[in-house]
Amino acid sequence: MNLKSTRVLSVSVIVILIGACSNLYKKDIAEGVIEYSCNAIDKKENLSFTIPSKMLVKFKNDYYAAELEAGLGFAKMKFISDPIKKEFRSQVFFFEKRQSTMNFSEVEMSNHYLPDYDVVYGKETQIIAGYKCEKATLKFKNGTPSYDIWFTKQIAIKNPNWSNAYYKIDGVLMNYCMKKYGLELHFIATSVSIATIDDSYFNINEEYKDVKNSEIEKLFDGFFSFIKPKNPFLAIR
């Protein structure tokens, strides 16, 4: 290969790499996938095969849905936030296919589980999964110890936390804790990528039986109960 050919090849490789990086770290993307690592706050629980190892969040037109698998794929969960109807849908497969839909009042009762808090925004920033993130400290009004989460405004999802415990923070969560089905899990974004998401992804197939959310909560409380610590208190931090 002559020198001219080598230079052409080198330039081509650089262009390809730049294009790949721009897809990975493009700001203000409105449709794509965020992958998070997932670990239990209680280190003993991480030893259990029932703890999810990752979470995928797919988003489009301000809709977003989180997918997790537990028990080596034995239990599958999908949580859909509908910003138009202000509904939160849970789709689970654990022995049977079941789904529940909560309206906004039910979301406030179930998902806004943290004690009332004020948000103090810090000046610190850090890069997570290629995106500039800001720090927010939650100061609880009842004296519960404060803690930090990290979020970004460089992903274009409007009011992304309306259906979760961090509803006062206007930004996509990138490093945070969340309690679900009696477990407290720590999520850190590991990658963000552009992807085409079909509109049907945010709907639930009719083969899933419609039940109350309390029934799904009870089902998974039983699934995870044997790995919980003897102390029933799980610190919110």
- Where do the domains of the chain lie? 28-227
Task: Give the model's pLDDT for residue 142.
Answer: 96
Helices (H) and strands (E) in the chain, counts: 3, 12
CATH of domain 28-227: 2.50.20
Checking DSSP bridges between strand 172-180 and strand 147-152, what pairing results, if any?
Answer: antiparallel
Q: Are strands 96-102 and 209-210 parallel, antiparallel or unpaired?
A: parallel
Q: What are phi and psi of 224, to 5 degrees?
A: -95, -5
pLDDT of residue 22: 45
Cα–Cα distance, 204 to 94 (Å, whole number): 16
pLDDT at 7: 52
> 30: which 2 tokens?
């409105």
CB atoms within 10 A of CB 188: 15
**What is residue 11's predicted lDDT score, i.e. its pLDDT?**
39
Facing residues of 81 across strands?
A: 64, 88
Q: What is the pLDDT of residue 174?
A: 99
pLDDT tens digits in sequence order for the chain, 237 residues long: 555 554 544 434 343 444 444 445 678 899 999 999 999 887 665 555 568 889 999 999 999 999 998 866 678 999 999 999 999 999 998 888 999 999 999 999 999 999 999 999 999 999 999 999 999 999 999 999 999 999 999 999 999 999 999 999 999 999 999 987 777 899 999 999 999 999 999 998 889 999 999 888 887 765 555 444 443 333 333
How does 89-102 read in b/e, with b if 16+ C-beta sit within 10 Å?
Answer: bbbbbbeeebbbbb
DSSP 8-state code for residue 95: S
Q: Which residues of 213-222 are buried (b: 16+ CB within 10 A; e: fewer)?
A: beebbebbee
Distance of alpha carbon 126 from alpha carbon 55, whole angstroms: 21
pLDDT of residue 109: 94
Q: Return the pLDDT at 113.
A: 93
Instruction: Identify which of 132, 124, 127, 117 has the alpha carbon closest to the alpha carbon of residue 166.
Output: 117
pTM confidence score: 0.82
Distance, C-alpha 54 to centroid of its chain? 9
